[in-house]
Structures are given as structure tokens and as C-alpha cells.
Amino acid sequence: MTALQIIFLITAVITLGAAAMVVITRNLVHAALWLIMTFFGISVLYVLLNAGFLAVAQVVIYIGAISILMIFAIMLTRRVQQDFGPQTNAAWPWALVIAAALFGGLIWIFSGWGNFFTQAPVMGERADPLRQLGMALVSPEQYVIPFEVASVMLTAALIGAIMVAWERK
């Protein structure tokens, strides 16, 4: 077992544990904090995958924006979050069965795949994924359509969110 594998395993265990806490814990503020921990663990995995830009974006977008937005929402609706009723619905055992079945099924499918245990090819000295990504996102030959559509989608979401949340007197 190499050092990288040990780092991966430690990160993975912490991240999955935090993710499990997100869905288990009763207190929503705690859930949001566990969520931040999960996101952080995932950004470490991006580093292990040589995707530095995504690691940074993960911290900035998921931790900096999405988690904080959730914490705001939890704070703004605080009276509800102190509700001490059950936090899970009656069907939670079924949810557990479905989730476990999906996990088992996926692993079973993966294990029959030739590439499952493949090792990462060596990145060339001159490989520059960040530059490649930047070029790809605005190149008409590659991803300019999804890129522009994402911006339209964000505009629409922004208008929609303002419309919903803005209390017109």
C-alpha cells in the first residue's frame, strides 16, 4: 500500500463518514457543517486526481457559496429547525434498502468492467489541464455551447430566485 493510497483511504473514510452524518444527524446546522466537511474531503480527492482547478472551485463554490447559502436558509427558518419531531419519514427503512441495493448493484456492475482496476496514465510533462480546460470552455470546437447555456441557466435561476424570495409589499 502506497502513501497515496493511505491518504486516499483516510480522506475517503472521513468524507463518507461526514456524508453519513449529513443524512443522519437531527440538527440541521450540524448537518450543514458535516456537509462542509464532506465537500472539503471531496476537494482533497480532486487534488489526488490532478484536478487542481476543480479542487479550488469546489472550495469556492460548494463550501464558500452553496454551504453558506444553506446555513443562511437554515438560520432564516430557524424556528422550524428546532422541531424535535422525527427528522426522517416513515419510509426510511425502504430508503435504506433502495440505497443499499443501488450501491450493491453498482459495485457488482463495476467489478465486471475491464477498466475497473486500471491505473492512472502518467500525465505528460507538458500536460496542462487547467489551460486545456480554459480553452475548451470557450472554444467553438468544444464546449462553448454548454458554457453559454450555463450562463443563461444561471440568469434564469437568478431571476426566478429573486422573484420567489422577494416579498412585494
Partner 1 sequence: MIPLSYFLVFAAALFSIGLYGVLARRNAIAILMGVELMLNAVNINLVAFWRYITPTQIAGQAFAVMVFAVAAAEVAVGLALVISIYRRRNTVVADDIDLLKF
Partner 2 sequence: MNVQDLYAISPLIVLVTWATLLILVDVYIIRDRNGGTPILAALGLLVAMGFAIAQTGQQYTAFNGMAVVDGFAIFLQVLFLGSGLVGIALAYNYLQRMGIERSEYYILLLYSISGMMLMAIAADLIVVFLALELLSIPLYVLAGFGRPKVEPEEAALKYFLLGAFAGGFVVYGIALAFGATATTSLAGIVQAVNAGSANLTLLSIGAALILIGLGFKVAAVPFHMWTPDVYQGAPSAVTAFMSVGAKAGGFAALLRVFVSALPELAADLSPVLWVLAALTMILGNVVAIAQGNIKRLLAYSSIAHAGYILMALVVFGNTQVSSDAVAAALFYLVAYAVTSFGAWAVVIALEKAEQKGLALDDYAGLGRKYPGLAAAMAVFMLSFTGVPPTLGFVGKLYLFRTVLEGGFIWLAVIGVLTSLVSAYYYLRIVVIMYMRDGDPQVHAEPWLRLTAGVTAVATVVLSLYAGPLFAWASQAVLKLF
Site for partner 2 in 83-122 (CB under 8 A): 105-106, 109-110, 112-115
How many residues lie near partner 1 (CB under 8 A)? Answer: 93
Does 2 engage in binding with partner 1 (CB under 8 A)?
A: yes
Alpha carbon distance 108, 115 (integer Å): 14
Contacts (CB under 8 A) with partner 1, residues 85-104 = 85-92, 94-96, 98-100, 102-103
- The yes or no reply on residue 142 touching partner 2 (CB under 8 A) is yes
114 CB neighbour count, 10 Å cutoff = 6
CA-to-CA dists, residue 103 to 58, 77, 127, 166, angstroms = 24, 34, 35, 41
Cα-atom radius of gyration of the chain, to the nearest Å? Answer: 20
Give the C-alpha separation, 30 to 87, whole Å: 13
Q: Between 130 and 153, name the residue whose CB sits nearer to partner 2.
A: 153
Length of the chain: 169
Q: Is 37 in the site for partner 1 (CB under 8 A)?
A: no
d(CA 140, CA 152): 17
46 binds partner 2 (CB under 8 A): no
- Looking at the Cβ atoms of 1 and 113, the one nearer to partner 2 is 113
Stretch that binds partner 2, among 50-58, 66-74, 91-99, 159-167 (CB under 8 A): 159-167
Which of partner 1, partner 2, none does 6 bind, CB closer than 5 to 8 A by kind? none
